[in-house]
Amino acid sequence: VCGPLFEEELAFWGIDETDVEACCWMNYRQHRDAEEALDSFETPEPDAPDDDPALGGADGDLKRLCMQEDARKAGWWKTWQPRIWALFEDPYSSKYARV
């Protein structure tokens, strides 16, 4: 059984992950480790300040993320549509999708 399905089953039946037997723990742990690694690559939350001097301000963020300045002018929906769809279609796309 793959990790995400195993995690869903544990949540559905209300079983704590510490009750998982050793024979199944590695599959489950591989999924959790991969999920944690992917979470570290997620983009900042939308309510995060754009002009953080530690990150080089808004222009520094654009350069750091290799985005063109024209992409900022593309429109709200074009920017947020993939994130909104992922929120509803992929339960593992973010912390908020899991809720």
Looking at residue 60, its pLDDT comes to 52
- Is 51 found in the same domain as 29? no
Split into its structural domains, the chain has a count of 2
Neighbours of 7 (CB within 10 A): 19
Is 49 strand, coil or helix?
A: coil
pLDDT digits (tens, 9 = 90+) for 4-55: 787 888 889 988 888 888 887 777 778 778 877 877 776 655 555 544 444 4
CATH number for the domain including 34? 3.30.710.10
Total-model pTM: 0.34
- Owning domain of residue 3: 1-41
- Is 88 found in the same domain as 61? yes
- Is 54 found in the same domain as 32? no
- 99 in a domain, yes or no? no
- Is 51 found in the same domain as 33? no
- Is 32 found in the same domain as 72? no
